[in-house]
């Protein structure tokens, strides 16, 4: 695994700052403005810078979302720590808001880390946002009602009290999912250790606060910044190919959508059961799902168009050579026909390429009128066409004559009438022959027909001696 030198300085500085904070906390146990307000949150900012500066092999959505998450968390920590040192108190809503949006951003970042791709499609991005917003809001909402019977405060304060442990539990669950979906690597070790460090410190803080045992500036607080640094550092390492797939992503997004719809359905049946603010993420999830649906339909239509173009001749709308050979390789009986126009080059040179293209389109239409049902007509390139049909020898002779007869009268072009003929060579398809041999047999028969001026010729073993 390769560490990019650009990040060595940042990581070393962040590591030294963390070690300095731990030593300083041990030497100066009393609360200290420089240690608790400045140094502590500076480490979180370094984690944000490391993530935002991650190398090109990193999923950019993962790096950017975690960088923003680390920055926002550091700001929330700064706001709440400020109030412990200064009489000028900042509103608690500042830090609450920062902590509340931290979790969805981390969920987005970690879920994107499953892929470790430098870029993602719009569908993948929407899936991860739906998962992050949907699961976080729904889990918190369903814990909110029973929690309001236990905790004091308004619904928003109770919501935040529930959001943090729910978010931490989801982080721990993501550790298990990550290990299931990814081979072990140094990158996965850093990521999972970082998640566990952060979640463990947060759960301990919640437990200690509830039981009046938490001490501001305790050594356990460093688990938060250690977790942020490990998560940010994991983004600078390459990871093995992940087992994470678009199918898992879309299924998870579907579950999140169903959960959000259930939440809104309960709110509609029982007005006032949930606070109104808790329903906003549900509406956002459903709106994103509709946007995702439009993208999915657009991608599906594009994929269908690309598949059609990949097997279709753009000029005539017939099958192209690749599609023709594919179907030929699947046949074990019938006949293959190769058709080459006589006199096309002269018309193309004298009347121009536009007239030549129009002639080819009209020739294709004439040929298509006489081929039997189930047969395939293709333009193989230039003025050469091909037909494969599961017919017997008598029908093959009749089809060869019919194809020649379609050009017995002139073709009307904008520049005037034009007359071309066609030489047809055909050969039987048998189980022993491969596509290359079948094409060669039909090609030899076609040139024999052209050389002898007979219109059509079936391949025989001594055909090269004919004429």
| Tokens linked to 61 | 């959505």
Task: From 359, 365, 348, select the one nearest 414 (Cα to Cα).
Answer: 359
Domain boundary assignment for the chain: 5-308, 321-465
Let me know how many helices (H) and strands (E) the chain has, helices first: 15, 7
Round the average pLDDT of the chain to a whole number and report it.
80
Confidence of residue 10 (pLDDT cuts 50, 70, 90): confident
Confidence of residue 289 (pLDDT cuts 50, 70, 90): confident
Which are the contacts of 445, defined by CB distance < 8 A and separation ≥ 6? Answer: 338, 425, 426, 427, 457, 458, 459, 463
Is residue 72 a contact partner of residue 119, using CB atoms and an 8 Å limit?
no
> Of residues 142 and 168, which shows the higher confidence score?
168
382 in helix, strand or coil? coil
Model pLDDT for residues 182-213, shown as the tens digit of each residue: 667 787 788 888 988 998 888 888 788 778 88
Q: Which residues of 158-178 are buried (b: 16+ CB within 10 A; e: fewer)?
A: bbbbbbbbbbbebbbebbebb
Half-sphere exposure of 252 (CA within 13 A, CB side): 25
Which are the contacts of 396, defined by CB distance < 8 A and separation ≥ 6? Answer: 335, 337, 389, 426, 428, 458
Superfamily assignment of 321-465 in CATH? Answer: Reverse transcriptase/Diguanylate cyclase domain (3.30.70.270)
CA 177, 194, 29, 83 dihedral sign is negative
Half-sphere exposure of 384 (CA within 13 A, CB side): 15
Model pLDDT for residues 335-367, shown as the tens digit of each residue: 999 999 999 999 988 888 899 999 999 999 999
| Tokens linked to 413 | 């072009």
Q: Would you say residue 4 has pLDDT above 50?
A: no
Give the integer Cα–Cα distance in Å for 399 and 211: 92
426 in helix, strand or coil? strand
List strand residue ranges (DSSP E) for 383-431, in order.
384-389, 411-413, 416-418, 421-428
CB atoms within 10 A of CB 287: 11
Q: Would you say residue 226 has pLDDT above 70?
A: yes
Task: From 401, 399, 307, 382, select the one nearest 341 (Cα to Cα).
Answer: 382
Taking the CA atoms of residue 320, residue 326, residue 328 and residue 329 in that order, the dihedral angle to the nearest 10 degrees is 160
| Tokens linked to 161 | 């009290």
Model pLDDT for residues 19-52, shown as the tens digit of each residue: 999 998 888 888 889 998 999 999 999 999 998 8
């Amino acid at each position: 695994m390769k560490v990019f030198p650009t990040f060595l300085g940042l990581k070393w500085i962040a590591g030294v700052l963390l070690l300095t904070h731990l030593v300083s906390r041990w030497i100066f146990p009393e609360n200290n403005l420089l240690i608790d307000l400045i140094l502590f949150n500076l480490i979180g900012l370094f984690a944000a810078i490391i993530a935002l500066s991650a190398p090109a092999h990193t999923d950019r959505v993962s790096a950017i979302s975690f960088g923003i998450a680390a920055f926002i968390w550091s700001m929330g920590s700064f706001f709440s720590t400020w109030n412990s040192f200064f009489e000028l108190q900042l509103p608690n809503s500042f830090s609450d808001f920062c902590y509340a949006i931290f979790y969805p951003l981390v969920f987005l970042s970690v879920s994107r880390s499953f892929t470790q791709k430098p870029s993602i499609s719009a569908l993948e991005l929407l899936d991860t946002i739906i998962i992050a917003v949907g699961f976080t809001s729904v889990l918190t909402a369903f814990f909110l009602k029973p929690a309001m019977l236990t905790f004091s405060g308004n619904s928003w304060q109770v919501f935040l009290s529930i959001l943090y442990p729910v978010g931490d539990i989801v982080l721990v669950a993501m550790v298990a999912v990550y290990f299931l979906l990814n081979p072990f690597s140094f990158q996965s070790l850093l990521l999972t250790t970082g998640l566990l460090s952060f979640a463990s410190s947060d759960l301990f803080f919640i437990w200690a606060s509830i039981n009046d045992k938490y001490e501001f500036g305790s050594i356990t607080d460093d688990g938060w910044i250690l977790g942020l640094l490990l998560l940010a550092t994991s983004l600078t390492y390459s990871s093995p190919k992940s087992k994470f797939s678009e199918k898992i992503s879309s299924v998870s997004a579907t579950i999140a959508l169903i959960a959000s719809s259930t939440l809104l359905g309960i709110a509609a049946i029982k007005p006032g059961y949930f606070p109104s603010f808790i329903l906003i993420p549900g509406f956002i999830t459903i709106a994103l799902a509709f946007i995702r649906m439009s993208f999915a339909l657009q991608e599906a239509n594009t994929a269908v168009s690309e598949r059609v173009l990949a097997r279709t001749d753009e000029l005539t709308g017939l099958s192209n050579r690749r599609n023709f050979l594919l179907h030929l390789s699947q046949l074990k009986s019938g006949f293959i026909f190769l058709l080459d126009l006589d006199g096309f080059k002269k018309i193309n040179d004298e009347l121009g390429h536009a007239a030549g293209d129009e002639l080819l389109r009209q020739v294709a239409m004439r040929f298509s009128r006489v081929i039997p049902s189930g047969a395939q007509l293709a333009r193989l390139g230039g003025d050469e066409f091909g037909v494969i049909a599961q017919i017997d020898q008598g029908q093959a002779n009749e089809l060869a004559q019919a194809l020649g007869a379609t050009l017995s009268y002139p073709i009307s072009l904008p520049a005037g009438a034009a007359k071309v003929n066609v030489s047809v060579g055909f050969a039987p398809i048998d189980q022993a022959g491969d596509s290359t041999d079948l094409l060669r047999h039909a090609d030899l028969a076609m040139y024999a027909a052209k050389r002898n001026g007979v219109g059509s010729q079936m391949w025989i073993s001594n055909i090269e001696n004919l004429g």
